[in-house]
């Protein structure tokens, strides 16, 4: 991984020239590459929404891929590029400045523009078209033009990346859909990309599915398993609420969670099997109804279901038999659900419960793919501790306490950090002791000077 000093900070792009030099210097020493095209081209995922570089300057940065292929022609090159999200909030922290005033209007303008063109019901389509026309007058023309231009510019970069796959410069390209709804300009772009993938016959090399932040995990897991010629990981599913899961569409995603589960299993090169006896790892899926809550946004579970006693007993049985099992905690977005810990569910061998459903699924499946056969050994135990401490303790509990203690809009970054540190470090020791974790938190940082993200430094728990 490149040094953090050249990776940028929030809206400030990374040093793309330094990153290119670093990558070319490393190339002869490594077995393969997992490359964020958002970092390579724009200087990061957030900068991809705000940098003002013109199309030609951005497209020229893809030439690095060709240079890399010439330098190490037999090394696998995996890459990913997120379709630019459209946020339904009035927060400009990760968007252009005009988002603070026009963000929700731009989201609705995008949504109804696409819905009017795609929905079959003529009456509903007419309603969306009328709403779109109303929003056209509510958003200044210059802002609409700038936003369209930014999206079109980024789409051209992604289309050019598809050509790199067709030419054999990139072996696998993932195009994740970041924070998306059922309709919108980003969804329209997805259809354009899907059509081009089909035209170029790249379906087996260019998957398009919901997600973003987990893709470096899934691509690393897939690359390592391919380099080591491992057999495909066999996964059996164990849902806590099969009825709820069957109707669940996760927050910030545009498709049923069952589709996201299938996409993330395929992303790590695994296969689903019907029975636990056939599986290398059992993946427990924790949901509580047909809707998710969201810890970061303060959204409670609308109609939480009771955790199935049969599910709990099955997990206890797997645990006693030392059958490897993992838990994808999908009840909430942006944090785990403490309820399962309080109902006698044992601590799993691998876990995730952060951000979106696909972020959670991709990272826990990657841990299974990388650690299969070693999930109860020290490195995997450390990874398990990190995810439980961050997703369950920090995101679902301590972050709420931090926000209740200080007002982020007025307190200094140092005061915010000190509050988070004072609440999290001692809580982590109690948590590690209660649940038999191998590590606790020795210190932490807030990389973007806000409570949403945290970087935990771990130490062995005695």
Q: 130-183: per-residue pLDDT in tens?
A: 999 999 999 999 999 999 999 999 999 999 999 999 999 999 999 999 888 899
**Domain-embedded: residue 227:** no
pLDDT at residue 366 in the model:
98
What are 270-280's pLDDT values in tens digits?
A: 999 999 999 99
- Rounded CA gap, 123 and 42, in Å? 41
> Are residue 297 and residue 434 in the same domain, yes or no?
no
pLDDT at 186 (0 to 100):
95
Given a contact cutoff of 8 angstroms between Cβ atoms, the answer to whether 331 and 292 are in contact is yes
Report yes or no on 399 lying in a domain: no
Spatial separation of the C-alpha atoms in residues 424 and 408, rounded to whole Å: 17
* Any domain includes 176: yes
Strands, sheet with 350-352, edge to edge from the N-terminal-most edge strand: 271-272, 234-239, 281-286, 325-329, 350-352
**Do 205 and 270 reside in the same domain of the chain?**
no
pLDDT band of residue 462 (cuts 50, 70, 90) is: confident
Are 244 and 192 in the same domain? no
* pLDDT tens track for 431-440: 999 999 999 9
Which residue(s) pair with 174 in the sheet? 80
Tens digits of per-residue pLDDT, 246-287? 999 899 998 899 999 999 999 999 999 999 999 999 999 999
Q: Indicate if 321 and 414 belong to the same structural domain.
A: no
Q: Are 446 and 417 in contact (CB under 8 A)?
A: yes
What's the pLDDT at 356?
Answer: 95
d(CA 215, CA 38) in angstroms, rounded, equals 12
- Provide the CATH number for the domain around residue 284: 3.40.50
Give yes or no: residues 172 and 79 share one domain.
Answer: yes
Query: Same structural domain for residues 387 and 372?
Result: no
- State the pTM of this model: 0.94
Residue 238, strand partner residues: 284
Please give the angle made by the CA atoms of 170, 264 and 392, to the nearest 5 degrees. Answer: 125
Domain hosting 457: range is 380-392+406-462
Give yes or no: residues 251 and 197 share one domain.
no
Buried b (16+ CB within 10 A) or exposed e, 220-249: bbbbbbeeeeeeebebbbbbbbeebbeebb
pLDDT above 80 for 320: yes
pLDDT at 214: 96
Range 89-97 average pLDDT: 92
Let me know whether 365 and 386 are in one domain: no
Mean pLDDT of the chain: 96
Same domain, 354 and 385: no
Percentage of the chain modeled with pLDDT above 70: 100
Do residue 11 and residue 154 come from a single domain?
Answer: yes
Total count of domains within the chain: 3
From residue 438, give the alpha-carbon distance in Å to each of 267, 378, 441: 29, 8, 11
Alpha-carbon span 177 to 357, nearest angstrom? 12
Residue 108: Cβ-neighbour burial (10 angstroms; 0-12, 13-18, 19+): buried
Residue 9 has pLDDT above 80, yes or no: yes
pLDDT of amino acid 110 = 97
Residue 397 lies in a domain: no
Query: Is 308 in the same domain as 286?
Result: yes
Asked if the structure places residue 445 within a domain, the reply is: yes
pLDDT at 179: 82
Residues 246, 294 share a domain = yes
Phi-psi region of 344 (alpha: psi -120 to 50; beta: other; left: phi over 0): left
Q: Is residue 229 part of a domain?
A: no
Helix pair 185-199, 141-166: axis angle to 10 deg: 20
In a domain, 114, yes or no: no
Contact 401, 423 (CB under 8 A): yes
The better pLDDT of the pair 91, 418 is held by: 418
Mean pLDDT on 405-414: 95
N-term to C-term CA, the chain = 30
- Is residue 126 in some structural domain? no
């Amino acid at each position: 991984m490149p040094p953090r000093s050249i990776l940028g900070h929030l809206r400030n792009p990374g040093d793309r020239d330094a990153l290119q030099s670093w990558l070319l210097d490393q190339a002869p020493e490594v077995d393969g590459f997992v490359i964020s095209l958002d970092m390579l081209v724009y200087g990061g995922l957030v900068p991809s929404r705000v940098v003002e570089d013109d199309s030609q300057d951005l497209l020229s940065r893809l030439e690095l891929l060709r240079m890399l292929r010439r330098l190490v022609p037999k090394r696998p090159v995996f890459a990913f590029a997120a379709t630019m999200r459209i946020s339904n909030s009035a927060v400009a922290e990760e968007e252009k400045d005009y988002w603070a005033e026009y963000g929700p209007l731009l989201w609705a303008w995008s949504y109804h523009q696409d819905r009017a063109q795609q929905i079959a019901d003529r009456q509903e389509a007419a309603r969306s078209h009328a709403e779109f026309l109303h929003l056209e007058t509510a958003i200044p023309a210059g802002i609409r033009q700038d936003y369209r231009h930014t999206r079109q510019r980024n789409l051209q970069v992604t289309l050019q990346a598809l050509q790199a796959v067709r030419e054999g410069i990139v072996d696998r390209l993932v195009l994740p859909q970041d924070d998306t709804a059922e309709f919108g300009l980003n969804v329209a772009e997805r259809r354009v990309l899907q059509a081009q993938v089909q035209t170029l016959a790249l379906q087996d090399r260019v998957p398009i599915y919901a997600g973003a932040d987990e893709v470096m995990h899934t691509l690393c897991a897939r690359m390592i398993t391919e380099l080591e010629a491992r057999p495909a990981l066999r996964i059996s599913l164990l849902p806590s609420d099969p009825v709820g899961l069957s109707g669940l569409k996760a927050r910030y995603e545009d498709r049923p969670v069952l589709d996201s589960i299938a996409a993330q299993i395929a992303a790590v090169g695994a296969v689903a099997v019907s029975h636990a006896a056939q599986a290398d790892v059992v993946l427990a899926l924790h949901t509580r109804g047909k809707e998710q809550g969201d810890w970061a946004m303060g959204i409670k579970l609308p109609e939480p279901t009771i955790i199935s006693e049969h599910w709990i007993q099955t997990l206890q049985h797997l645990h006693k038999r030392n059958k490897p099992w993992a838990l994808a905690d999908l009840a909430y977005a942006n944090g785990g659900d403490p309820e399962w810990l309080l109902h006698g569910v044992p601590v799993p061998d691998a876990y995730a419960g952060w951000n979106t459903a696909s972020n959670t699924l991709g990272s826990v499946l990657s841990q299974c793919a990388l650690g299969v056969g070693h999930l109860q050994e020290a490195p995997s135990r450390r990874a398990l501790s990190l995810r439980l401490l961050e997703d369950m303790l920090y995101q679902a509990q301590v972050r709420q306490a931090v926000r209740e203690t200080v007002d982020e809009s007025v307190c200094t970054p140092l005061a915010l950090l000190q509050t988070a540190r004072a609440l999290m470090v001692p809580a982590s020791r109690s948590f590690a002791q209660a649940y038999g974790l191998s590590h606790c938190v020795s210190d932490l940082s807030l990389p973007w000077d806000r409570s949403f993200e945290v970087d935990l430094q771990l130490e062995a728990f005695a």
